[in-house]
Structure 1
């Protein structure tokens, strides 16, 4: 009897041991299976463990790589993510877009609000040296730099017909990217999500927001926890953006009062669009007089020689004839130069099709140096480190590319802003107040045109005890902000002030 009892106990223990062993084995197998699933594998595969030119430890984790938005053509968009140095699990996720169309968001990464400051290498043309940027936007948020559309920066497609694109296709692809990206990073699906950028991102961001909001309304999964957007010196509406050019030039002391009054009289207060020849000639005279200025920041030097500026002025688009100063015989064919960071704004928004600057025979960006970024991003060791395709497959990195054939196929963005503010999304429109490309008075005017009640009247905002700019707040979570002394790319020219307003706005603090 006793022997039988012992035997049964042994059998029971054996069964329990077998069940426990299976359970433990299951615990080991399931995590392994999860690690092999797309949701968990991509972040580890995309982890950046070091970067050529930088020595030391990153303050937070970095990830980069591709997300394919079309399997048939392998149309893939490249991103670089820096986790927040404060609290990645709770801080917002913010995507950054540079303009163009055709400008890589590594422009912002290298020269603006990215994690590093880039310095020349020890030899001419050598690999740049990287140091931590004390004003990186990763100080207070998870920030991701996205090259969009395919053909820009490190993003690519094996089907070159994909490089014929426009606003709507770019927005649709960006939305596909975001949905797949949040699948790869499910831990961020509950974080507040914002979209940010500058220049032609004034078109990118509202159109992408439209896709995101429609997806939310339709219940598309994963659900994006979208909260709003912020845009610097945004291309928005031709009437507002470009009618402010001549008055702004006069207000900043760039043209004489006599010249201004002459143009104003001939143009009857309208400085862009359907104007007669007499008016257009005087407007182009203003452009000619200002051709050697750095249009992106009138306080900053122009990187290229004036002779180069003149060549680019002549070789750009929209021909118009008038006589060169001191020339009495033949007309001089002058063409309107570009008026926006990395894109011929006036041509794009007026005619639809956007001519790329490199294709016009000039440098990629007048007055702009891209040597440090190009030297770093064209280095094959850097490409391996950030998981980007080699030059042999996708070509050299370009700050502003001529690979794409882009059409501006939407209209004014004012209606988009009205829609999203009315829905309750938070919106910050900010302007460097020394930008001649998209002058702040035009931006201020269209913001006011939305018709919302002013809840925080025009006043200075401060960094320490110094005035950093001016701001005005409206109903429906809409804020307009200027940054004193900044140009078109605010984080590049005023990094400390940029981090200040960025962190305050994300936190919902009053400026």
Structure 2
């Protein structure tokens, strides 16, 4: 009888686990509340670390608000290299909007009506080790690159799905923007190869999304000048002169006359916000810069009542390699390394910096203390990163030819990774057109343009958006994202 009762108990526990995914989540990973937010979360949140040797990779997981047992699971990666995926969480498509008006000394959090967790579960990963809350006890791990990052992220995913086995059968996608134009396809390639090799657990990879992502030196490098001319940022005379001197090749000028003309182009556009030419260029107050460059813990109220911070949704925010020095093989400096300690130009990172460097917030997020993990920086200077994967075009062709769906989207007012270069390299793959260039709509309004190719490759523009598309066009972003995941025409 005892054996029979034990058998019944095991069956009941298994049924309970299948009905309630939270029961199989790691102990202590549930996020119960967050400083600055009053109210109930619309879905369950989990966070913590996955350990790989001496590296500790931090993640924040948001269950889908719709049907977490069936909806896709999407891994989100910000770029840099060296920038935290809390960029996407706080400023783009996370479950909250952050306002600078304080609540109990913290920025105030409101529910985001356009969160991508409306239709999918989201994993926000700080990668590689040394970025955001992720760190290693062996500082040699901070010497890394494209291929090592992809390998580590694949290992992270295998371990993560072991911790959350209830999601192993859900459709899985990888998404990211900017330098994640390299992170995403290289990781998808690792995952796809692991699936083919029978690596367990078997991930249910269906496809990937890349927003304003770098892909290829030549295509991306030659995109700026035609973009600047087409947008009316440089004159016909300058465009004709630079085109004549450079023979249409701008990314690697070989003649002095070409360099001189390119300098004139850069001078003409130098004071614009390269991440969205429609937006002003944000300049942080001196008091914030001083606080940020000290080891004193940050507090929201210490900014001072005399400061007039910009509303959060007016911040200018983006992560990418600057147009003056495109990504080439070899060492890629992070933004602080490139700018001698300063962070990304034209961006307001105050809310994220203040919130994530507060010890009460870190404790609520299950992030290790600053003594262990270091202070949180939007983009770190503690990694040494090498670009060693080459052009991404071969990765995209490999993945799409194997049946994985790909959405390559671009905010059409981003000057850092202009849509013209992205459109050109997607076309260069040589796939047959399935859906001719046409507008796509949200609520009866043109929201951009799309071009569909064979092998489920889609190129999409978002009208009026900058480098970080969901920041500028949250409604339209949730629309194209939802349609893509559902397999519908955009």
In the superposition, the TM-score normalised over structure 2's length comes to: 0.89
Matching of residue 454 in structure 1 with residue 433 in structure 2 = yes
Question: What's the secondary structure of 1:117's corresponding residue?
Answer: strand
Match for residue 313 of structure 2? none
Matching of residue 111 in structure 1 with residue 94 in structure 2 = no
Match for residue 295 of structure 2? none
Matching of residue 484 in structure 1 with residue 463 in structure 2 = yes
Contact 1:348 1:355 in 2 (8 A): no
Query: Aligned in 2, Cα 1:461/1:266: closer, same or farther, shift over 3 Å?
Result: same
Contact 1:110 1:373 in 2 (8 A): yes
Deviates more, 1:162-171 or 1:285-294: 285-294
Deviations 1:299-333 (A, max 9, x none): 011002899xxxxxxxxxxxxxxxxxxxxxxxxxx
Matching of residue 499 in structure 1 with residue 478 in structure 2 = yes
Contact 1:348 1:354 in 2 (8 A): no
Query: Aligned in 2, Cα 1:77/1:363: closer, same or farther, shift over 3 Å?
Result: same
Deviations 1:239-260 (A, max 9, x none): 1012010110011011111111
Counterparts of 2:12 and 2:60 in 1: how far apart (Å)? 27
Q: Considering only CA atoms, is the larger Rg found in Structure 1 or Structure 2?
A: 1
- 151, 176, 188: which is aligned to 2:130? 151
Matching of residue 43 in structure 1 with residue 43 in structure 2 = no
* Structure 1 residues without counterparts, runs of 5 or longer: 1-18, 308-338
Contact 1:348 1:407 in 2 (8 A): no
Contact 1:340 1:438 in 2 (8 A): no
Matching of residue 56 in structure 1 with residue 39 in structure 2 = yes
Contact 1:347 1:354 in 2 (8 A): no
Contact 1:298 1:435 in 2 (8 A): yes
Match for residue 366 of structure 1? 345
Q: CA deviation at 1:165?
A: 0.3
Deviates more, 1:259-268 or 1:41-50: 41-50
Matching of residue 258 in structure 1 with residue 237 in structure 2 = yes
Contact 2:216 2:393 in 1 (8 A): yes
- 330, 352, 365: which is aligned to 1:352? 330
Counterparts of 1:96 and 1:356 in 2: how far apart (Å)? 19
Q: CA deviation at 1:285?
A: 2.1
Counterparts of 1:392 and 1:26 in 2: how far apart (Å)? 47
Contact 2:322 2:416 in 1 (8 A): no
- 422, 431, 442: which is aligned to 2:421? 442
| Pairing of 1:88-487 with structure 2 (within 5 A) | 88-122=68-102, 126-304=105-283, 341-344=319-322, 347=325, 349-359=327-337, 360-487=339-466
Matching of residue 509 in structure 1 with residue 488 in structure 2 = yes
Counterparts of 1:83 and 1:305 in 2: how far apart (Å)? 34
Query: Aligned in 2, Cα 1:138/1:474: closer, same or farther, shift over 3 Å?
Result: same
Contact 1:354 1:408 in 2 (8 A): yes
In the superposition, the TM-score normalised over structure 1's length comes to: 0.85
Q: CA deviation at 1:355?
A: 1.4
Deviations 1:81-109 (A, max 9, x none): 11111100100000100011101000000
Counterparts of 2:385 and 2:138 in 1: how far apart (Å)? 16
Match for residue 24 of structure 1? 5
Counterparts of 1:343 and 1:121 in 2: how far apart (Å)? 32
Q: CA RMSD in A?
A: 2.3
Q: CA deviation at 1:434?
A: 0.2
* Structure 2 residues without counterparts, runs of 5 or longer: 287-316
Q: CA deviation at 1:121?
A: 3.4
Q: CA deviation at 1:28?
A: 5.4
Q: CA deviation at 1:174?
A: 0.2
Q: CA deviation at 1:392?
A: 1.4
Counterparts of 1:291 and 1:167 in 2: how far apart (Å)? 29
Contact 1:342 1:400 in 2 (8 A): no
Query: Aligned in 2, Cα 1:506/1:375: closer, same or farther, shift over 3 Å?
Result: same
Q: CA deviation at 1:349?
A: 2.2
Counterparts of 1:364 and 1:342 in 2: how far apart (Å)? 12
